[in-house]
Amino acid sequence: MTMPTFRAAVPFVAVLVAGCASARPATQGPEAAEPDRPATEGVVVRINQIGYLPDGQKVAVACAVDASTLTEFEVLHESGRSMLGPAPVAASGGFGPCTTTWRLDFSNVREPGRYHVIARGPQLEVRSRTVRVDARAYQGAADTLLAYMRQQRSGFNPYFRDSVHKLDGIIVDDPQREGQFIPVSGGWADAGDYLQYVTTSATATFQLMMSYRDHPNSFGDAFDARGLPGANGVPDVLDEARHGLEWLLRMFPSDDQMYNQLGDDRDHRYLDLPTTDSSDYGWGKGMERPVYPCTGRPQGLMQHKNRSTGKASTAGKYASAFALGAQVFGERDPEFAARMAERATAAYEVGREFPGVCQTAPASAPYFYEEDNWVDDMELGAAQLHALTGEQRFLREALEYARQEPVTPWMGSDTASHYQWFPWHNNGHHEIWRAEAALESERRELAGYYRQGLDGVARRADNGFRVGIPFIWCSNNLMASFATQALLYRRMTGDEQFQELEMAALDWLFGTNPWGVSMVVNLPHDGVWSKDPHTDVARQFGPESQTGGLLDGPVYRSIFESLRGIHLSDPDEYAAFNTGFIVYHDDFGDYSTNEPIMDGTANMAYLLSAMFSGR
Ligand SMILES: [Ca+2]
Ligand SMILES: [Ca+2]
């Protein structure tokens, strides 16, 4: 995500954000996607707006925002035919704005069709939005996410049909090369701002390729390599992954030049489009952007510094993306694959030589991605190098790293620092498990690590929505990662004990949450989704420009209220649901809950492609 507090931390920027917002032209979304008028009292019934698989778990959650109670529910076919119930309901306690919740399980409705869930209480009858039960409910969903990735492209941007950030960039924080130009145009903007990080970009690239490797039939081909409409014989998810890989190759051009970041928080000084980015890094507005290497030392050109200790967090991510890239592109483009295989090994050796974290660099504000773990990244890199080369050494080292951090530390906790444990789940355990040379005892050990993390979250999920993640910034990322880890665990073991929570996390992201909002912009198109995402592109071109983008998601009220410079631009249409310990605002002014994020979007590709492939 953007680390948007940068904006809040620079007072005149905050004023600018608010000023732009108040001058914002009224935009109208498509009529089909207009939000429900949220009830100000009574009960609402929330559903997964994408739909449910015929043989899958199906749960709607009813939420009372006053003292209303329910006694029964029924599922009606759109023809009016009763499919289930009336059945008694059982209360699941309060959560957030909901004084009471009820889980309405209609898993037995297996016939494909369109339905309504009806909840009834004394003098009360509430109807859900239309519920889809359809084996193909997730068809095309993963590809929809790619629309956001294309819109985020730097270099040639197919949304604008123009090149953006052509002058990237000039090397900084490097005594030998300071001030030199290096051609590193490409990649993706991180969020609503235009900074670019290897941390998030390499992870996103990896996740796109992993999604394709494991669920190739979930992806289509309707765009070319530049992201313009028109098939090119390459699945679009690989077009997008290649766009990421090519940028990563530019950012690690030789063994002693490992770059980590393009641009810095001086980007936040002006609110503008990627095509007209007027950031001034000391060489004039709209000129070159700074390129930061990993140095293994605390970094920051101005008064603030990060706490970097090494290079391995970034090196491991390079190694894993390149090594998987070499496998995925091996047959399509042997030359490209060979270059990545060579770079993968080189990156991994940098990580061996410089253990520790390479955090993002702050400039004029004290905020950065406070990543504190690196063994997860080296584990994934080693696992992928083993998959690529078959060398036993890499498998052994992957296992050594796995044992140093069995559980991603936020799991089971109620808070964490900003991007402290990234990636949000560790794909490394699954990738070692896939290795033919792994022993059965090692596979059980790795699955046990995943189970420990899932257990930690599950213990906190004693609410009607069955969610147990902490609502720190980017809670949607945590939700998606929890669901992904649960899916990987289920695949590795056949143990379905977390499946209810896995589906609850997915349902949450697509509308089974107190606000009844899909957390992915314009998905499904006829659902309820953000009309005022926090990006200047959306402000000028409408929310559909952000199609496919995963929002940051709800945060603890305490976080929202502690942010400086945050002002909602409009009356809160979800005010009735922002009375509890977590809040979400569909408002341009809320940079904490309503900003689309590139890394989270790529993470979703795995889940949605799995849902279509039948997992
Ligand atoms: Ca294509
Ligand atoms: Ca890490």
Q: Enumerate residues 6+ apart whose C-beta is below 8 A from 409.
A: 373, 416, 420, 421
Token pair recorded at residue 175: 């005594």
Going from the Cα of 142 to the center of ligand 1, the distance in angstroms, rounded, reads 14
SS3 585: coil
In one-letter notation, the amino acid at residue 97 is P
List, as one string, the DSSP characters of 146-162: HHHHHHTBSEEETTTTE
Query: Dihedral through CA 132, CA 135, CA 138, CA 139, nearest 10?
Result: -120
Report the C-alpha gap between 75 and 117 in whole angstroms.
Answer: 5
Buried/exposed 37-70: b ≥16 CB within 10 Å, e otherwise: ebbeeebbbbbbbbbbbbebbbbbbbbbbeebeb
Going from the Cα of 409 to the center of ligand 2, the distance in angstroms, rounded, reads 11
pLDDT of the residue at 557: 96
Determine how β-strand 170-171 pairs with β-strand 290-293: parallel
Ligand nearest to the CA of 240: 1
Ligand nearest to the CA of 200: 2
Which 3-state string (H, E, C) describes 65-113? CCCCCCCEEEEEECCCCEEEEEEECCECCCECCECEEEEEECCCCCCCE
Going from the Cα of 74 to the center of ligand 2, the distance in angstroms, rounded, reads 46
Going from the Cα of 35 to the center of ligand 2, the distance in angstroms, rounded, reads 38
Ligand nearest to the CA of 146: 1
C-beta atoms surrounding 549 within 10 Å: 32
Going from the Cα of 118 to the center of ligand 1, the distance in angstroms, rounded, reads 43
pLDDT of the residue at 301: 95
Going from the Cα of 229 to the center of ligand 1, the distance in angstroms, rounded, reads 9
Q: Is the peptide bond before 35 cis (omega within 30 degrees of 0)?
A: no
Name the nearest CA neighbour of 388 among 435, 440, 433: 435
Q: In this structure, are residues 164 and 274 in contact, taking their beta carbons and an 8 Å threshold?
A: yes
Going from the Cα of 459 to the center of ligand 2, the distance in angstroms, rounded, reads 24
Going from the Cα of 380 to the center of ligand 2, the distance in angstroms, rounded, reads 10
Distance of CA 596 to the CA centre of its chain: 9
Q: Which conformational region is residue 566 in: left (phi greater than 0), alpha (psi within -120 to 50 degrees), or beta? A: beta
Q: At what angle do helices 598-613 and 475-493 cross, to 10 degrees?
A: 30
Ligand nearest to the CA of 237: 1
C-beta atoms surrounding 526 within 10 Å: 14
SS3 235: coil
Going from the Cα of 262 to the center of ligand 2, the distance in angstroms, rounded, reads 19
pLDDT of the residue at 6: 35
Distance of CA 531 to the CA centre of its chain: 19
Ligand nearest to the CA of 239: 1
Name the nearest CA neighbour of 224 among 176, 153, 164, 166: 153
Going from the Cα of 82 to the center of ligand 2, the distance in angstroms, rounded, reads 50
Ligand nearest to the CA of 312: 2
Q: What angle do CA 76, 82, 83 make, to 5 degrees?
A: 85
Ligand nearest to the CA of 227: 1
Report the C-alpha gap between 137 and 520 in whole angstroms.
Answer: 15
Which 3-state string (H, E, C) describes 463-498? CCCCCCCCCCCCHHHHHHHHHHHHHHHHHHHCCCCC
Going from the Cα of 230 to the center of ligand 1, the distance in angstroms, rounded, reads 7
Token pair recorded at residue 33: 């996607």
Q: Enumerate residues 6+ apart whose C-beta is below 8 A from 493.
A: 447, 451
Report the C-alpha gap between 465 and 469 in whole angstroms.
Answer: 11
Going from the Cα of 264 to the center of ligand 2, the distance in angstroms, rounded, reads 20
pLDDT of the residue at 615: 65
H helix or E strand, kind and range, residue 540: helix 536-541
For the chain, residues with pLDDT lower than 50 are: 1, 3-35, 37-40
Going from the Cα of 135 to the center of ligand 1, the distance in angstroms, rounded, reads 25
Going from the Cα of 237 to the center of ligand 1, the distance in angstroms, rounded, reads 7
pLDDT of the residue at 41: 59
Going from the Cα of 341 to the center of ligand 2, the distance in angstroms, rounded, reads 22
Ligand nearest to the CA of 236: 1
Going from the Cα of 138 to the center of ligand 1, the distance in angstroms, rounded, reads 19
Going from the Cα of 221 to the center of ligand 1, the distance in angstroms, rounded, reads 4
Going from the Cα of 102 to the center of ligand 2, the distance in angstroms, rounded, reads 38
Report the C-alpha gap between 578 and 554 in whole angstroms.
Answer: 10
Q: In this structure, are residues 380 and 426 in contact, taking their beta carbons and an 8 Å threshold?
A: yes
Token pair recorded at residue 606: 């795995």
Name the nearest CA neighbour of 594 among 542, 549, 557: 549
Ligand nearest to the CA of 376: 2
Ligand nearest to the CA of 358: 2
SS3 199: helix
SS3 513: coil
Going from the Cα of 103 to the center of ligand 1, the distance in angstroms, rounded, reads 41
For the chain, state the CA radius of gyration: 23
Residue 10, judged by CB atoms within 10 A of its CB (0-12, 13-18, 19+), counts as buried
H helix or E strand, kind and range, residue 387: helix 375-389
**Strand blocks (E) in 263-319:** 290-293
Per-chain residues with Cβ under 5 A from ion ligand 1? 221, 223, 232, 234, 236, 239
Name the nearest CA neighbour of 144 among 229, 220, 202: 220
SS3 196: strand
Going from the Cα of 273 to the center of ligand 1, the distance in angstroms, rounded, reads 26
pLDDT of the residue at 576: 95
Q: In this structure, are residues 289 and 279 in contact, taking their beta carbons and an 8 Å threshold?
A: yes
Ligand nearest to the CA of 231: 1
Going from the Cα of 551 to the center of ligand 2, the distance in angstroms, rounded, reads 22
Determine how β-strand 59-64 pairs with β-strand 43-46: antiparallel
